[in-house]
Each structure stands twice: as structure tokens, then as C-alpha cells.
């Protein structure tokens, strides 16, 4: 699974970080970024974290590159 962040779209609600705090964190600009180092995370939790983004700034793809979210 691959997760991508569109930082130009992110509005900093941090809904994703509430669901997957091990994966996402707000940076100094109040924009979501990946927590370093990015840990292994349950795919279902990562997908759910992407789904709750109100502006679709997050995208998740399966191992074959097919979109899971949005």
C-alpha cells in the first residue's frame, strides 16, 4: 500500500492524524506530513484515515497502484 499527501490541498484539520497518529502529524505550517520514521500501519486504518479527509488531500493505493481512496 502507498499513501500520498497533497500538501497543497490539505487544510490541516488533522482528522487523519486522529485516526492514525503513528502515520500522520501536523508540521510547523499546520499541514499534514508523514511521521518519521513512518511505521508499518494496518492497511484498514490507513485507508480510514485517508477517507476522513474533508478535502481529499490523501490518497491510498494498493500494491498494484489501484486507488483505494478517494
Q: For the domain that residue 50 is a member of, what is the CATH number?
A: 3.30.70.20
Q: What is the pTM of this model?
A: 0.88
CA dist., res. 13 & res. 43, Å (int): 21
Q: How many helices (H) and strands (E) does the chain have?
A: 2, 5
pLDDT in the model for residue 39: 67
Range of the domain at 49: 2-69
What's the structural domain count of the chain?
Answer: 1
Question: Could you report the per-residue pLDDT of 30-70, keeping only the tens digit for each?
Answer: 999 999 877 678 899 999 999 999 999 999 999 999 999 87
4: which strand partners? 59
pLDDT in the model for residue 37: 77
Amino acid at each position: 500500500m502507498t499513501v500520498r499527501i497533497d500538501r497543497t490541498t490539505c487544510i490541516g484539520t488533522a482528522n487523519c492524524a486522529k485516526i492514525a497518529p503513528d502515520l500522520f502529524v501536523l508540521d510547523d505550517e499546520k499541514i499534514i506530513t508523514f511521521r518519521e520514521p513512518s511505521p508499518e500501519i494496518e492497511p484498514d486504518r490507513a485507508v480510514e484515515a485517508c477517507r476522513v479527509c474533508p478535502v481529499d488531500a490523501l490518497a491510498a493505493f494498493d500494491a498494484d497502484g489501484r486507488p483505494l481512496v478517494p
